[in-house]
Every structure is written in structure tokens, then in C-alpha cells.
Amino acid sequence: MTAKIIDGKAFAITVRAKVADHVARLKEEHNLTPGLAVILVGQDPASQVYVRNKHKATLEVGMNSFEYKLPIDVSEQELYALIDKLNEDPQVHGILCQFPVPEHLSETDIVARISPAKDVDGLHVINAGLLATGQRAMVSCTPLGCLMLLRDHYGSLSGKTAVVVGRSNLVGKPLAQLLLRDSCTVTIAHSRTKDIEAVCRAADIVIAAIGRPEMITSDWIKDGATVIDVGINRIAAPEKGAGKMKLVGDVDFASVSPKAGAITPVPGGVGPMTIACLLANTLTACSRANGLPEPVGLSA
Ligand code: NDP
């Protein structure tokens, strides 16, 4: 058996097209344009690339993009004054601060300062609490992307057994909550889980959000299981030439794909869904802020 490839890149294009369609209708029918504000502190090269990609993607779907580039030594007070201003601005429906930030700033406090309704990264404790209690929340983009891929693959997730490897606030925990909400039987595994291979081998769905290159091999996976690889790891690729690097996931694609029923590749799996879901969340936040119905199929 060779696994079906779950093509996140293609699916993300359909999500972006749906978002663009809704944005056009919001403009036409309500004279509203969703707006996303992105704050970047300092000049970290990787963060600059992420912010540029978000800016471009936001404009491509017809939304407003507001970029704020702050110096690396910006004070907490200045940063919070900007967040407070954006919280009040009716043109801004989503706010995110690109992490990591310099050490003198606290990521937890920054997230806490952002209005929960505009927290399109879904990191605010209010949103974590709403999600955990089955209420309407802003959901973190990567978990939302994984959920969309799984719903598309299965139709209904009800009754499936799922193991999420990783318990971060950004990915593992919210993803487990989402799967539980869709009536999966969920296990969260982590670095202290005993006999983790056997735990994963019992699951219909294994989701890897670990940050360890190619850690999950075929003996972790039962025949026909669905494998979602969230990991993004840059490793040396001597086969491409001296000093060359390549991206790999947390799953050993070569050994797992002949055994799994379906699998996301890296790159081209979960990664493209993350930005698509950021756009979907900004649209959702705009609809909610204006008392309009939420676009169907673009939120949890
Ligand atoms: P974190 O480092 O915050 O969390 C990693 C989790 O993996 C922890 O819960 C940790 O367990 C667990 N873990 C680490 N080592 C092991 C091990 N040997 N066995 C079992 N569990 C282990 O990472 P994130 O959740 O932020 O990200 C995970 C991966 O996803 C990374 O590769 C990241 O780059 C990628 N990512 C990809 C995104 C995308 O858009 N595709 C977006 C966000 C992240 P413990 O808590 O016990 O330490």
C-alpha cells in the first residue's frame, strides 16, 4: 500500500480562494474590508520573511494589511501603546505579533494585551478557555489547518482514535481540543509518555508536532492510519551538495508512507494551511465584529 498524499498546498489554495470570495462579498454588500495588523520587533531574517509572506497573502485575498516594524529595543510601554491603539481601531480585525521577540519583552504579556476578539493566532488564554469549554473561540492557525485537512479527508471524524504527539499551547493542546470537539478519542503524547510507539500504533490518526526531524518511523504507525506531520525541521542535505540544507517533518516520510493510509508531506502539507487559516481567522474576526454570519467551512 502507498499512502494517499494529503496535498495541503492545493487545499490551502482553495481556502484562500474561498476567503477572497467572502472578502469581495463583504466589500460589495457591507462596504467592509477585513484588516490584519502584523507587528514585527527587530530584524530577525526568518521573521522578516514570515511577515512579508503574510503581508503578501493578506493583500492577495483583498484584505487590508497593516505592518508595524518596531526597533529591537522598543520599550514594553511603546509596544503596548501600539497594541492598545490597534485593539480600538475598527479597521483592524486581526492583530498578531511575530514571535520570537527580544528577551526584554514577554510573549505571554504581549498575547494577553491583544483583544481576544482580534487574537487571530488563537493564543490568548480567553480563546484557549473558550476552545476548551466548547465555545466559539479564535483558534490557532496551524491546528485549524490540520483540522480542515482531516475533515476534508474523512468527512466525519466521529469515533476515530487520534494521538497528538506534542503538547505546546500553539499546536498540540489546541489541536487535541479540536479533535475532541469533533468527537475523536484523543490521546496527547509528549516527551514523558511511556512506550510512545505503542500509543501511536493504536491510533487511526497520528499527528506529529514535536520539532524532531523524522522521529516517527513506520513501526509507530498502524496499517492504513492517517499521519499529519506538523514538524518543520531544517537539516543538512549532503546529497544535494556540501553545505546544502533541506526541510523535513517530524515523520520519516520514506518509511511511513508505504504503511500509512494517508500522509501530509513536508513541505507542502500543513505549512501552507497555516497562512491560509490566518486569512480565514481574520475574515471570521471581521464577520463576528460586525455581527455578520461567519463564513461556512473556514472556522472550527
Ligand atoms: P514545542 O517545542 O513548543 O513543543 C514540542 C512538543 O514535542 C513538546 O510538547 C514536547 O514534549 C514534545 N516532544 C519533544 N521531544 C519529544 C520526544 N522525544 N518524544 C515525544 N514528544 C516530544 O513545538 P511546537 O508545538 O511549537 O512545534 C512543533 C513542530 O511544529 C516544530 O517542528 C515546529 O517548527 C512546527 N510548527 C509548524 C508550523 C506549521 O505551520 N507547519 C507552525 C508551528 C509549529 P514536552 O512538553 O514533554 O517537552
Please report, for the domain that includes residue 70, its CATH number. Answer: 3.40.50.10860
CA 88 to chain centroid: 25
- Measuring from atom 35 of ligand 1, which residue has the nearest CA? 231
Give residues with Cβ within 8 angstroms of 178, minimum separation 6. 131, 139, 143, 144, 146, 147, 300
Please tell me the predicted confidence (pLDDT) of residue 81. Answer: 98
**Average of pLDDT values for 11-27?**
98
Residues 151 and 236 in one domain: yes
CA of 188 from ligand 1 middle (Å) equals 12
Residues 189 and 91 in one domain: no
Q: Residue 75 pLDDT more than 90?
A: yes
Active site residues: 54, 98, 121
Contacts for 127-133 with beta carbons within 8 Å, 24 or more apart? 128/169, 128/173, 128/174, 131/174, 131/177, 131/178, 131/181, 131/300, 132/177
Please tell me the predicted confidence (pLDDT) of residue 296. Answer: 93
Confidence of residue 293 (pLDDT cuts 50, 70, 90): very high
Residues 161 and 205 in one domain: yes
Please tell me the predicted confidence (pLDDT) of residue 285. Answer: 98
Residues 91 and 201 in one domain: no
Please tell me the predicted confidence (pLDDT) of residue 265. Answer: 98
Residues 188 and 242 in one domain: yes
Residue 274 Cα: closest atom of ligand 1: 40
In a domain, 292, yes or no: no
Q: What is the pLDDT of residues 27-53, one digit of tens each?
A: 999 999 999 999 999 999 999 999 999
Q: Which of 6, 168, 169, 247 to mutate to test the pocket of ligand 1 (most atoms within 8 A of CB)?
A: 168
In a domain, 151, yes or no: yes
167 lines ligand 1 (CB under 6 A): yes
In a domain, 267, yes or no: yes
Q: What is the pLDDT of residues 165-222, one digit of tens each?
A: 999 999 999 999 999 999 999 999 999 999 999 999 999 999 999 999 999 999 999 9
Residues 204 and 265 in one domain: yes
CA of 29 from ligand 1 middle (Å) equals 42
Residues 167 and 230 in one domain: yes
Please tell me the predicted confidence (pLDDT) of residue 96. Answer: 97
Q: Residue 134 pLDDT more than 90?
A: yes
168 lines ligand 1 (CB under 6 A): yes
Please tell me the predicted confidence (pLDDT) of residue 213. Answer: 98
Confidence of residue 245 (pLDDT cuts 50, 70, 90): very high
Residues 158 and 255 in one domain: yes
Domain total for the chain?
2
In a domain, 150, yes or no: yes
Q: Residue 148 pLDDT more than 90?
A: yes
Residues 162 and 244 in one domain: yes
CA of 207 from ligand 1 middle (Å) equals 11
170 lines ligand 1 (CB under 6 A): yes
Residues 63 and 150 in one domain: no
217 lines ligand 1 (CB under 6 A): no
112 lines ligand 1 (CB under 6 A): no
pTM over 0.95: yes
Task: Decide: 170 and 215 in contact? Cβ < 8 Å.
Answer: no
3-state secondary structure 174-208: HHHHHHHHCCCEEEEECCCCCCHHHHHHCCCEEEE
Confidence of residue 284 (pLDDT cuts 50, 70, 90): very high
Please tell me the predicted confidence (pLDDT) of residue 173. Answer: 98
In a domain, 13, yes or no: no
CA of 164 from ligand 1 middle (Å) equals 10
Cell numbers of 94, please?
Answer: 486581526
Q: Which domain holds residue 231?
A: 141-271
Please tell me the predicted confidence (pLDDT) of residue 190. Answer: 98
CA 290 to chain centroid: 24
In a domain, 131, yes or no: no
Q: What is the pLDDT of residues 255-283, one digit of tens each?
A: 999 999 999 999 999 999 999 999 999 99
Q: Residue 1 pLDDT more than 80?
A: no
In a domain, 287, yes or no: no
- The CATH number linked to 220 is 3.40.50.720
In a domain, 222, yes or no: yes
* Average of per-residue pLDDT values in the chain: 97
Residues 163 and 267 in one domain: yes
- Measuring from atom 42 of ligand 1, which residue has the nearest CA? 142
CA of 169 from ligand 1 middle (Å) equals 10
Confidence of residue 112 (pLDDT cuts 50, 70, 90): very high
Residues 106 and 175 in one domain: no
Please tell me the predicted confidence (pLDDT) of residue 16. Answer: 98
Q: Residue 117 pLDDT more than 80?
A: yes
